[in-house]
């Protein structure tokens, strides 16, 4: 057997190496072809070992979602923090019997403590608040007006042509800081609650920030210590129940709801003491067709305007007549005649 010389290549060995390499490549190709048809063909080896990019993506998305939620919560808290109601839905109290009864209570309290005169609500401002809200500009006020107008058909359907009568009896306080006349119990409370809830929902659906955290408790406020910070500085920190003890069960009268107003807390009040009113809905006619205070104010303004207009027209007519030819001489003649007669009378 001949030994290959140094530097020469053994042809058999080359063929063996070449054959092994070819078989290896064919095996690898066949293996890959079979794997392509499997459901996990596109999964990287890192996926198989649990070391994938997917969880990192999910983690990133999860973090982004958390940031979004956190931002939404912050914005919601900011809205709640910035929420300062400046408008409200009001049921005006116009029954003279109720107003007279409240003024008697107010005077009785003031007689016992004159300092509390600063805490009293003026009689033109008596009302029941249905809903408070925040309206920041004219556009939002117009949206609020639209929401109020949408309430009317609901209230009419709820009442079915009947009057909503609110009887007032007794006195209560909120934390001895706000004094109010109580609304007596009855079916009318349920109707009032339904109206208030519908109003809240209607305004919120229109994007208006409305309502507050407290549950709705209809009441007629007649005094509140917060009206005058001077009171606390001078030792008046609460309303003493003894001041109104004899009126605890007093019957003040009944108010028939016939109007709901959208009022401003901040704008200048009307001349009758009632709040600035942006818009109103009429629920039912008042007994005997008696006009309300706001209507009387409008009527008075109309009468004054008519009187001024007539005076101006009369002045213009007289001015035109004086400028006509011959008119001026006749006026002078009449004046001279009057002067002559006066002189004769003086002689006599």
Mean pLDDT of the chain: 77
> What is the pLDDT at residue 12?
56
- Are the C-beta atoms of 224 and 117 separated by less than 8 Å? no
| CB within 8 Å of 113: residues ≥ 6 apart | 236, 240, 243
> What is the pLDDT at residue 81?
64
Please state, as a whole number, how many other Cβ atoms lie within 10 Å of the Cβ of residue 198. 17
Confidence class for position 339, pLDDT limits 50, 70, 90: low
Burial grade of 236 (CB within 10 A; 0-12, 13-18, 19 or more): middle
Q: In b/e form, how buried is each residue of 288-315, taking b as 16+ CB within 10 angstroms?
A: eeeebebeeeeeeeeeeeeeeeeeeeee
Task: Answer whether residue 28 shows pLDDT above 90.
Answer: no
The CA distance from 186 to 255, in Å, is 14
> What is the pLDDT at residue 225?
95
> Once rounded to an integer, what is the mean pLDDT over residues 67-92?
72
The CA distance from 153 to 187, in Å, is 20
Lowest mean pLDDT among 14-28, 241-255, 317-331: 14-28
- Are the C-beta atoms of 146 and 248 separated by less than 8 Å? no
Confidence class for position 194, pLDDT limits 50, 70, 90: very high
Burial grade of 172 (CB within 10 A; 0-12, 13-18, 19 or more): middle
> Once rounded to an integer, what is the mean pLDDT over residues 14-33?
52
Higher pLDDT, 312 or 245: 245
Confidence class for position 317, pLDDT limits 50, 70, 90: confident
Per-residue pLDDT of 146-173, as tens digits, reads 999 999 999 999 998 899 999 999 999 9
> What is the pLDDT at residue 87?
97
Per-residue pLDDT of 285-298, as tens digits, reads 654 445 555 555 55
> What is the pLDDT at residue 130?
95
φ/ψ of 199, rounded to 5, equals -60, -45
Enumerate the β-bridge partners of residue 220.
181
Per-residue pLDDT of 128-142, as tens digits, reads 999 999 999 999 999
> Once rounded to an integer, what is the mean pLDDT over residues 87-95?
96
> What is the pLDDT at residue 212?
77
Confidence class for position 20, pLDDT limits 50, 70, 90: low
3-state SS class at 56: helix
Q: Which of 248, 294, 291 is nearest to 90 (CA)?
A: 294
User: What end-to-end distance do the CA atoms of the chain give, in Å?
Assistant: 186
| CB within 8 Å of 235: residues ≥ 6 apart | none
Please state, as a whole number, how many other Cβ atoms lie within 10 Å of the Cβ of residue 85. 16
> What is the pLDDT at residue 285?
61
The CA distance from 304 to 291, in Å, is 18
The residue extents of the domains of the chain are: 87-287
Per-residue pLDDT of 225-266, as tens digits, reads 999 999 999 889 999 999 999 999 999 999 999 999 999 999
- Beta-strand ranges (E) seen in 74-177 are 87-92, 127-134, 164-174
Q: CA-based angle 136:71:68, to the nearest 5?
A: 130
The CA distance from 113 to 196, in Å, is 36
- Look-up: residue for tokens 């409240």? 102
For residues 229, 230, 236, 242, the Cα torsion angle rounded to the nearest 10 degrees is -90
87-287 CATH, one of 3.40.50.1580, 1.10.10.10, 3.90.1140.10, 3.90.1010.10: 3.90.1140.10
Higher pLDDT, 103 or 287: 103
Task: Answer whether residue 57 shows pLDDT above 80.
Answer: no
Task: Answer whether residue 116 shows pLDDT above 90.
Answer: yes
Pick the most confident of 15-24, 55-64, 185-194, 213-222: 185-194
- Are the C-beta atoms of 116 and 236 separated by less than 8 Å? yes
Q: Which two tokens stand for residue 212?
A: 């507050």
Confidence class for position 222, pLDDT limits 50, 70, 90: very high
- Are the C-beta atoms of 184 and 168 separated by less than 8 Å? yes
């Amino acid at each position: 057997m001949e030994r290959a010389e140094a530097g020469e290549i053994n042809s058999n060995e080359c063929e063996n190496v070449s054959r092994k390499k070819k078989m290896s490549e064919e095996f690898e190709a066949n293996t890959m072809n079979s794997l392509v048809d499997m459901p996990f063909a596109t999964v990287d080896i890192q996926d198989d070992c649990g070391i994938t990019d997917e969880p990192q993506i999910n983690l990133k998305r999860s973090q982004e979602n958390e940031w979004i939620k956190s931002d939404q919560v912050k914005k919601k808290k900011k809205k709640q923090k910035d929420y300062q109601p400046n408008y409200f839905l009001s049921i005006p109290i116009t029954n003279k019997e109720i107003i007279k009864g409240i003024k008697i209570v107010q005077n009785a309290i003031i007689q016992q403590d004159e300092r509390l005169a600063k805490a009293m609500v003026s009689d033109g401002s008596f009302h029941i608040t249905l809903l408070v809200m925040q309206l920041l500009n004219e556009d939002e006020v117009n949206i609020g007006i639209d929401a109020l107008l949408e309430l009317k058909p609901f209230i009419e359907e709820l009442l079915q042509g009947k009057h909503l009568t609110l009887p007032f009896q007794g006195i209560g306080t909120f934390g001895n800081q706000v004094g109010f006349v109580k609304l007596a119990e009855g079916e009318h409370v349920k109707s009032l609650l339904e109206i208030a809830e519908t109003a809240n929902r209607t305004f919120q659906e229109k994007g208006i920030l409305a309502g507050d955290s407290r549950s709705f408790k209809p009441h007629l406020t007649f005094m509140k210590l917060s009206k005058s910070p001077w009171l606390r500085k001078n030792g008046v920190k609460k309303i003493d129940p003894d001041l109104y003890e004899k009126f605890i069960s007093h019957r003040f009268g009944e108010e028939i709801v016939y109007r709901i107003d959208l009022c401003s807390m901040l704008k200048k009040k009307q001349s009758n003491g009632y709040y600035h009113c942006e818009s109103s809905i009429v629920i039912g006619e008042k007994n005997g067709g008696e006009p309300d205070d706001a209507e009387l104010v409008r009527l008075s303004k109309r009468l004054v305007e008519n009187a001024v207009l007539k005076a101006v027209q009369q002045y213009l007519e007289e001015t035109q007549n004086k400028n006509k030819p011959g008119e001026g001489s006749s006026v002078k003649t009449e004046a001279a005649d009057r002067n002559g007669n006066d002189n004769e009378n003086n002689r006599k």
